[in-house]
A and B are shown apart, each in its own frame.
Chain A
Amino acid sequence: MTAQSINSEKKNQGGRIISRINTAIVLIFLTIVTIAVLYPLVYLVSAAFSPGNAVSSLNLIPFGDGFTLKHYQRLFTQTNYLLWFKNTLIIACGTSISTIAVCAIAAYVFSRFRFPFKKGLMLSLLVLQIFPSFVGMVAIYVILLRIGGLDTLWGMILIYTSGNIPYNTWLVKSYMDSIPRSLDEAARIDGASNARAYFQIILPLAKPIIVFLAITSFTGPWMEYIFSKMILRSNSNQTLALGLFSFVTDKKNEFTTFCAGALLVAIPFVFFFIISQNILVTSLSAGALKE
């Protein structure tokens, strides 16, 4: 054996040890992050099924106090949980559908047509999306009062949809820019109207971004608190956020009941995010790539 090959043998061994140490360090690091990520979530789950009421009485060991369904029993029998759920579901579906209807068609027009004031409109949408909607909440309140939209679910849908428009129109427009123009131009040459080109050519091709828009605008209203609090007053129009937050006010500390209700909302979300994470990865980066 030459000196050289002994040397490289040693090097290889050293490399293997180093890579093992590296893997170990990475694993330890990932485990620590995992614990940090799961820490509050474990308590969320254990509180939802633990017998006590307040955080102060919560056992330090998750599930240390035993297992009970009494909070769910309370939610379904003594509170209007199902009604809150129904109201929130209506608002979320309404917002999702109307956001898609309004944004997608506007995005198509922005992507395919030239018209006066186009640049100004696009820029103002971009500037408008930096404001959280509640900056104008006093005015929104009065406008809803004038059109009879206070304390109604459609009033909420109207506000959420309007708030969604500026950002999402841009998002969908960027996506539609990447669909070749030749496709809808060919349809137009064949005599299809603009509306037909939109519904039969562009909309099916833009499905990924439409799905993404449907999901994000559907999930938004589930835990929105500020506008719900301001606009929905009567008991029959309460939403999940309002109902659940009423358990953790300063006066009342029913932390475990809150956790029970919140868990029921979070589970479908989590389930959904985990199965769709690959779509999320591509959609999120698509926004960046297409800019």
Chain B
Amino acid sequence: MSYFSVEPDGSSKNKILISSILFMGLGHLLFLKQYVKGIFFGVIEIVFLIFSPQIYLKLVDLVTLGTPHPELPIKERDHSMFMMIDGVVIIAVIFVFILLYVFSIKSAQSDYKEFCILGKLPRAGSLLSELGNKAFPVTGLVPMILLVLFFVIVPLVFSALVAFTNYSAPKNIPPNNTVDWVGLDNFRALFGGDATWTSALGRVAAWTLIWATLATVTCYAGGMLMAVILQESKIKIKPFFRSIFILPYAVPSVVSMLIWRNLLNGSFGTVNRTLIAFGLIDKTTVIPWLSDPTLAKVMAVLINLWAGFPYFMLLTMGTMTSISREQYEAADMDGASKYKAFRHITLPQVLYQTTPLIIMSFTHNINNFGAIFFLTAGDPVMADSTITSARGTDIMVTWIYKLTITLMKYNYASVLAVCIFVILAPFAIWNFRRTQSFKEGTL
């Protein structure tokens, strides 16, 4: 019996494990005689090995971010940002390779196990039927993982890394100049090192939290109020009102924000001109709806209520219909008033069932770019706005956008992104632990 034959009694377990670890697909080729699979895995490792010098160089580039060559023409100078992104992409590729490696070893082991049970080598089906059946979980996940890895994770890792560099205008913008790692300098500057930036960050962060809380609470309360009124009242034209109330949800919010922005314009907006026409205000004392820092904030919350309550109204209506009628009938028999029934039956159940969505809505509002950017564009201008580009109603994400697009201070923008992550990640994880599937341990 040659060394390369395998026994169905489990004694060849180590042979297969060791050969699979030595080289991807070797176990499949030598022992299990699964040539298609073996060659597939083998080719992947060979390609990886062929490119390993380049991979190594890319990793070196990621560490050095290039060296300045002022003597060269701009085109030939080291481009730090390309190096950084390539480096992150390469790390992602290495990560995929390691996953594949682990997967190939596991696959060889499980195929051998099957062989031990069946007593014959698993007939290697055609590649296509294999992908549709046993390898289906892999086939199903690969597109998702690749897209998320290269278009979501790599960009986010990149922007997190930028927080530790000096990538900013005017001095460190590739390709003219290189960018260097600066450790925690940006964090120090924004958290106390630079008075102007620190105060701007404090102001924007505080407003972001206030904004997200108010926006969520007002929309939720407003939506629930409308749902309860529509559900409980005995008005016959209920569907008519409901159809009207979902209009703000139906119209693209960018459009409605731009309309509001124009209607609320201080000097020529319709709102002020109407008030003047009614003689309520004077031409010289128009109300600065969007140009007074405090009033602009109030308006942002109110307009967001206008746009956001229909979502929660529909949500609450859906949840309310799932509460059994019997509970209300029992309450009615016990002589409870409608208010009491609402307070003790409807409210707790709706609240309980919609908690994850309240949390989600809060995180959504922290990042609600459109509601601020298209309504106020962050205006009005504040004392430090020329330096920091942060204006009166800017929230973190709109500030990130301005730092990136107008000031090109990518490093500070990235610090803000990291801050958002630190604030929001616990909420996401809390939501995750609360899900049914997590609690039941079926994950």
Contact = CB atoms under 8 A, between A and B. Distances in A.
Given A123-B432, A222-B252, A265-B252, A55 B270 contact: yes
A23 B156 CA distance: 53
A272 B136 CA distance: 36
A159 interface: yes
Contacts of B241: 30, 34
Interface string A13-32: 00000000011001101100
Nearest to A269: B250
A60 B269 CA distance: 10
A140 interface: yes
Interface of B: 81-82, 85, 88-89, 99, 102, 106, 129, 131-134, 136-137, 139-141, 143-145, 147-148, 150-156, 158-159, 162, 226, 229, 233-235, 241-256, 258-260, 262-263, 265, 267-270, 273-274, 277, 306, 311, 314-315, 317-319, 321-322, 353-354, 356-357, 363, 367, 369, 397, 400-401, 404, 410, 417, 420-421, 424-425, 427-429, 431-432, 434-437, 442-443
A1 interface: no
A66 interface: no
Interface in A232-288: 241, 245, 248, 255, 258-259, 262, 265-266, 269-270, 272-274, 277, 280-282, 284-288
Given A162-B152, A248-B258, A269-B252, A136 B159 contact: yes
14 contacts: A37-B247, A37-B248, A40-B263, A56-B268, A103-B144, A132-B367, A158-B147, A177-B442, A195-B132, A195-B133, A245-B258, A266-B252, A281-B321, A287-B357
Contact of A223 (B255, B262, B263): B255
Given A131-B156, A131-B420, A135-B156, A109 B148 contact: no
Interface stretch (A68-76, A79-87, A114-122, A204-212): A114-122
B119 to A, nearest CB: 21
B319 A140 contact: no
B85 A143 contact: yes
A90 interface: no
Contacts of B152: 128, 131, 133, 136, 162-163, 165-166
A133 B401 CA distance: 11
Contacts of B129: 193
B356 A288 contact: yes
A265 B267 CA distance: 29
Given A165-B148, A280-B314, A138 B428 contact: no
Contacts of A128: 148, 152-153, 156
A174 B134 CA distance: 23
Contacts of B251: 41, 44, 266, 269-270
A149 to B, nearest CB: 10
B394 to A, nearest CB: 15
Contact of A43 (B247, B250, B263): B263
A285 B353 CA distance: 9
A143 B254 CA distance: 28
B319 A273 contact: no
Contacts of A127: 425, 428-429
B147 A37 contact: no
Interface residues on A, range: 35 or more
A275 B246 CA distance: 11
Nearest to A222: B252
B434 to A, nearest CB: 7
B132 A193 contact: yes
A277 B314 contact: yes
A130 B229 contact: no
Contact of A34 (B154, B244, B252, B420): B244
A11 interface: no
Given A34-B244, A37-B306, 12 more contacts: A38-B244, A60-B277, A106-B141, A123-B429, A127-B425, A136-B155, A139-B154, A193-B136, A222-B252, A262-B252, A274-B246, A288-B356
B132 A194 contact: yes
A255 B260 CA distance: 12
A203 interface: no
A183 interface: no
Interface in A30-68: 30, 33-34, 36-41, 43-44, 54-56, 58, 60
B82 A142 contact: yes
Contacts of A218: none
A217 interface: no
A47 to B, nearest CB: 8
A169 interface: yes
B144 to A, nearest CB: 4
A291 interface: yes
Given A123-B429, A131-B367, A289-B322, A33 B245 contact: yes
Interface centre among A36, A38, A106, A130, by most chain B C-beta atoms within 10 angstroms, is: A130
A134 interface: yes
